[in-house]
Amino acid sequence: MALRVAVIGTGNMGIHHLRNYYHNPDVELVGFVEPNEKNAEKVKTKYPIEHFADYKKVLGKVDAVSIATPTCTHFEIASFFLSHQIHVLLEKPITDSIEEAEDLIEIAKQQNTLLSIGHIERFNPVIQELKNILKKESPVFVEIHRESPFDPRIYDVDVVSDLMIHDIDALYYILKRKLNIVSSTGIKVHSNKSDLVNVQLISDDNVLINITTSRATEQKIRSWRIILKDKLIEADLLERKLYLSSRTEVGKKIFDTNADHHYTQEQITAKILVKNDEPLQIEIDNFIQSILGNTILEVEGKDGLKALKLVKEIQQKIITV
């Protein structure tokens, strides 16, 4: 029997949720919620499903919902569905405040209902491969760039909540270490909130991390550069490319002995093949299969709360220049 699902909000992310549910064989897509009639008409031309102007109207018709609305509405909408034992996939950030996030987690626990948070980068095949590589060896330094052009539709959060939170969650997921803030600097470019932020973090075992996040860059960049003791990892999360450079045995000998190194290959770079799967499709499938009891939920409410706590700390410590 197919799981009955509705999508709440059909903006930039919501429309992609709709597409993935529409083609999922384990889902009956009941409909979508969109208060704006003009936007709803556009959606209905692509997906001939029922439209609801009020999210409360889907109650009794669904087993689960995806919520892709502005962050300021997350607590109200998610708490409504969780209280009625409807499973929720909630776009990041989990909520506006830590207190609201804690309340949502408690409601989900009391109602024995799944609450998953849309930290989509966990499902990026490049991040999955990085996690596998770094199980064997700890990095020394991590440099992350997440940059995009300005999008005026994102009006209720700064660049830390909007974009940097992806990398914060991915760092927790990969490194599994406590992260401490060294510095946090922001610049307002297009809005009255920080549009470009640079943060330096250090883990409890001295991994140095530098994150530059911008929504004022006229190019989309999603790059990680990881320095290990004798390796360099370069990752492009958009193009799904991953390269590993390491010193050859000859190179190690030259380094150790300071020998003559004419005409020797000291380093070698390997391209690591990664899958080209769509992260959102994997995320939604994990949510659905977790409800059906076929797998374990990958991103829980507690993960969203953990990322939100560091986001709030970074925001509090930002020095605006």
Shared-domain flag, residues 144 and 270: yes
Give yes or no: residues 113 and 173 share one domain: no
Query: 103 and 137: one domain?
Result: no
The CA distances from residue 287 to 5, 134, 283, in Å, are 11, 26, 6
Q: Is residue 233 domain-shared with residue 96, that is, in the same domain?
A: no
Phi, psi for residue 10 in degrees, rounded to 5: -125, 40
Residue 302 domain-assigned (yes or no): no
Please state, in angstroms and rounded to a whole number, the distance separating the CA atoms of residues 42 and 45.
5
Model pLDDT, residue 1: 77
Residue 209: closest CA among 184, 186, 188, 241 = 184
* Whether residue 74 is found in the same domain as residue 139: no
- Other CB atoms within a 10 A radius of the CB of residue 251 amount to 17
Q: What's the pLDDT score for residue 266?
A: 64
Residues of the chain predicted below pLDDT 50: 250, 254
**Claim to verify: residue 172 and residue 313 sit in the same structural domain:** yes
Helix (H) or strand (E) holding 237: none
CATH assignment of the domain containing 139: 3.30.360.10
Whether residues 217 and 157 share a domain: the answer is yes
Task: Indicate whether 97 and 133 sit together in one domain.
Answer: no
Beta bridge partners of 200: 183, 210
Considering the domain architecture, whether residues 139 and 288 belong to the same structural domain is answered as: no
**Is the same domain home to 105 and 167?**
no
**pLDDT value, residue 257:** 53
Number of domains composing the chain = 2
Tokens of 99: 């207190």
Give the pLDDT confidence score for residue 250 in this predicted structure.
Answer: 47
* Residue 137 domain-assigned (yes or no): yes
Give domain status of residue 303, yes or no: no
Q: Which domain holds residue 21?
A: 3-118+280-296
The CATH number of whichever domain residue 98 belongs to comes to: 3.40.50.720
Q: Does 269 map to a domain?
A: yes
Note whether 128 and 269 are same-domain residues: yes
